[in-house]
Structure 1
């Protein structure tokens, strides 16, 4: 009698996660990788084979990226795609602004870990030089490989609790020591 094992709980959870990601990054969507910065944004629109369909540099803040998202949708539709999936690194607060802009336009959004982008840059050409256009393309490539995640957006209540916890944490961990008097 063969010793047949079914799927493990880890296999089932991984499969569910991949199904969610495939729904966010379908083959019918182009991928817009954006390297977010303070004032200069780099964007690369790619297909699922990592071919760059279009590039764009924008000198603006993250909350002014609406026209770039609209441009990406136009470029994707001209190339035969139905829509766009937006991807970025979740560093700082800018990704939350981008997520809101994407949601307003009905676009899916995923995030890529910064360390994966760093490693992909090393693997690309064995250099450590950082360039925003290259990083935007690498973010899009990692997204098409489903090496991304769905960002969790916290609501107002959770954000307030996190703020209060951060404010009181140093006080809770402070150690009060009484030093013996010098003899």
Structure 2
């Protein structure tokens, strides 16, 4: 993996053909320049698919032969996810694909024509010029176990967001129909409150039930932890509730549906976390990291999901910079901060 700009500049020689690609959802635009920044051909517009990728390779190969420049560098912005398919395709063919910072592209685009005009053709050339200046980076294109971990952590985040959404919807329903419920059960995600909510118990249902009947429901959910005193508190809360008394049939359906969703997502998360643990323990050094006090399995899984194989790095500072924790010097005259 690259570390210094000098190393990157050494790869740009008089035998290098630089291809700048402006990536989009359906069509990409490619421009070709040499090591001095001169245009070598008209732009190429190609589809974001196998046919388009092959068209790009044919176009590039012809230019390479015509200009006697066998060394190819394909540069693109890592914006969104549309660049990934092309990057992995080029990597599979052992072609050199690099990425440039979108901020650098934005700041560079006025150098040629003193105009902030933005279009795909211009952006493709600007990307190529940024690559020519050595201001590019080798992309982290994960494979094998590391790719599995990245997709796994992405799915885990998705599940957690869905779980938070369902919890918020349950709280919304409680605020409307039984706002006093959480004064009796501080955490409605425990077994007993989950049982009552799943069965659609609203204030009028609890009021109509005897304490003995409610205790039977409690024992079905939890063998201990909730006694007659808590049941009496629940009855009192139901009797004095200011919750809505309209639309109760559908309100019960809503609560039952949301609790089913909550339980299903929770179960999937537990199973998924167990699978992530199996995966991360296959990574060299992961078990030693997990053994550190305060470091959990998901933390280590998330680390390798972002960083990938540690053997791709030459210096620890690369990982620090990747995480955004590198210190910045702010100096002017005698001021230093």
Quickly name the TM-score band, shorter chain normalised: 0.7 to 0.9
Distance 2:44 2:150 in 1: 35
Deviations 1:31-59 (A, max 9, x none): 10011122332111111111111133324
Corresponding residue to 1:161 among 136, 153, 158: 153
- Residue 38 of structure 1 contacts residue 62 of structure 1 at CA under 8 Å; is this kept in 2? no
Distance 2:64 2:93 in 1: 14
- Residue 66 of structure 1 contacts residue 101 of structure 1 at CA under 8 Å; is this kept in 2? no
Residue 29 of structure 1: CA displacement?
A: 2.1
2:34 equivalent to 1:47: yes
TM-score (norm 2): 0.44
Q: Relative to structure 2, which stretch is displaced further, 26-35 or 57-66?
A: 57-66
- Residue 75 of structure 2 contacts residue 99 of structure 2 at CA under 8 Å; is this kept in 1? yes
Which residues of 2 match residues 51-70 of structure 1 at below 5 A?
51-63=38-50, 64-70=52-58
Corresponding residue to 2:64 among 76, 87, 92: 76
RMSD value, Cα? 2.8
- Residue 9 of structure 2 contacts residue 133 of structure 2 at CA under 8 Å; is this kept in 1? no
SS at match of 1:53: coil
Distance 2:49 2:139 in 1: 17
TM-score (norm 1): 0.75
Structure that is richer in strand per residue: 1
- Where relative contact order (Cα < 8 A, 6+ residues apart) is larger, the structure is 1
Structure that is richer in helix per residue: 2
- Residue 27 of structure 2 contacts residue 45 of structure 2 at CA under 8 Å; is this kept in 1? yes
Residue 105 of structure 1: CA displacement?
A: 2.7
Determine the structure 2 residue equivalent to 1:10: none
Q: Which runs of 4+ in 1 moved over 3 A?
A: 15-23, 169-176, 178-182
Residue 138 of structure 1: CA displacement?
A: 0.6
Deviations 1:103-137 (A, max 9, x none): 23321010112121111113333322212111111
Distance 1:166 1:17 in 2: 36
Determine the structure 2 residue equivalent to 1:119: 107
Determine the structure 1 residue equivalent to 2:98: 110
Determine the structure 2 residue equivalent to 1:141: 129
**Max Rg structure:** 2
Distance 1:158 1:114 in 2: 23
Note the residue ranges of structure 1 that are not aligned, 5 or more in a row.
Answer: 1-14
Residue 146 of structure 1: CA displacement?
A: 1.2
Distance 2:3 2:22 in 1: 28
SS at match of 2:80: coil
Distance 1:127 1:170 in 2: 45
- Residue 39 of structure 1 contacts residue 61 of structure 1 at CA under 8 Å; is this kept in 2? yes
Q: Relative to structure 2, which stretch is displaced further, 41-50 or 166-175?
A: 166-175
